[in-house]
Structure 1
Amino acid sequence: MDLYIYYEADLAHADALQAKVRMMQASLQTTLPVAAALRRRPDTTDGLHTWMEIYPDVPAGFEALLERAVAQSGLSLLIVGKRHTEYFVEPTPCA
């Protein structure tokens, strides 16, 4: 399953947020062989960017590791509202 996490952050915190997420993702990759990406919407709404972390094909238990990494990184201090988590899978071929 692929894990997608999106949230909003103030435009003024964009550089700090990006640095924290990239460091957190690099740290996670030393623990597990998991790919990681970071994206943001090109526009802002009310001074907020929407950011998305992408983790393809995550192993079981990854979300708990990620939650600890987020807490240790201080990332939540830069986020407005909450982190929204969604899982997606490859569709199976129709018969």
Structure 2
Amino acid sequence: MDCYIYFKAGTALEEKVIAAEKSLHQQVLAQLGVRGKLQRRPESANDLHTWMEVYANVPDDFAEQLEKLLQQTGLAELQYSERRAEYFLDVDVCA
């Protein structure tokens, strides 16, 4: 199962968001063994960037574990909008 999390944050906070995300991704890799990827939409709207965290092959309790790690980064205080998480499973269409 893969996890996609998106949120918005002010464009002026870009460096702080990246630093907090780096810390979060390091903790997720060290404690959960899951490598994350960070993406941002190329354009901004109303002085806001839309950010996307992508985590592949996450465990069933990933949301709870990630929430605990998130609190240690200060990322939640930088966000303009709520974090929205969506989960997807791979489907084998070649079988």
TM over 0.5: yes
* Structure 2 residue aligned with 1:61: 61
Match of 1:72, SS state, is coil
Q: State TM-score, norm by structure 2.
A: 0.93
CA RMSD of aligned residues (A): 1.3
Q: State TM-score, norm by structure 1.
A: 0.93
* Structure 2 residue aligned with 1:88: 88
* Structure 2 residue aligned with 1:40: 40
User: Structure 1 vs Structure 2: percent identity of aligned residues?
Assistant: 38
Aligned-pair distance for 1:20? 0.4
Aligned-pair distance for 1:44? 0.2
User: How many residue pairs were aligned?
Assistant: 95
* Structure 2 residue aligned with 1:25: 25
- 1:28 & 1:75 partners in 2: Cα distance? 14
Aligned-pair distance for 1:92? 3.3
Q: Which has the higher strand share?
A: 1
Segments of 5+ residues of structure 1 without an aligned counterpart are none
* Structure 1 residue aligned with 2:77: 77
